Structure 1
Amino acid sequence: MPRGILPEVKLRAVKDYISGNGSYLSHASELGVGKTVFRRWVNKYKTFGESAFIRTGHNQAYSASFKKYVVETYLNGEGSYRELAVTYNIPSENTIRQWILKYNGHETLKASGTGGNAIMTKGRNTFIR
């Protein structure tokens, strides 16, 4: 979701749309987002209510087993990217796409949010002895 738009503004626009005022396109253009983004907000609101727009302040972490479950659910034809993202409260359909690419490429789906590897394990001396 675009981070520049306050959750209250998103919620007001979604409620306004659901009450029959305006279209996806009119609300999306008024907020400066794409029609698909606004449609995603509406779907998330219908599924999760007002809590769909609460910000946690950090990225969501997913376990390797959860990622595998979501990928296998998709591959078994039990949902589209959009449906799975809404069902499991994954902010972006592209996240699921990336998991599927790794899975199909025989890469290991690793847990996220566990920290990365140190890029530079040992620094070099920059002074003259």
Structure 2
Amino acid sequence: MVKQVFISGPILGMENNQSYRQTIKDICTPLGLEVIDPWNREKVLYKGTEECWWNTYTTFDFVERDLADADRCDIMVVYLPVLSAGACMEMFYAKRRGKHVIVVTELPCVSPWIVVHTDKILKTFNELGETLKQFL
């Protein structure tokens, strides 16, 4: 059975800087991993021009779809160049559901909440491929 990797990371405030998702896909694909990327579905909502757009959208459905994606994955890769409420909630949920969680961050001080809900914390994407192999 093909293992699935969920890509999690900040969107709000970084709507025009989602290239990290392709970097993660480029690492996962040669390993035979299937990638679940909620950005493919959600990018139409994030225009970066409308403040608090979610106040006019059914946010319960929005969150439930992300949680359903997290349920389907075997491994979650979380990119945290900055703290992200959504990414941290997805990480917490996935770890509590027994998923492997890998965080890539250069943050100098990582919260104990992130440490406890992570299997491995990496400083760069350079180590991601080898780390993913440990969970295959």
Relative to the length of structure 2, the TM-score reads 0.25
Considering fraction of residues, name the structure with more helix.
1
Considering fraction of residues, name the structure with more strand.
2
Higher relative contact order (CA 8 A, sep 6+): 2
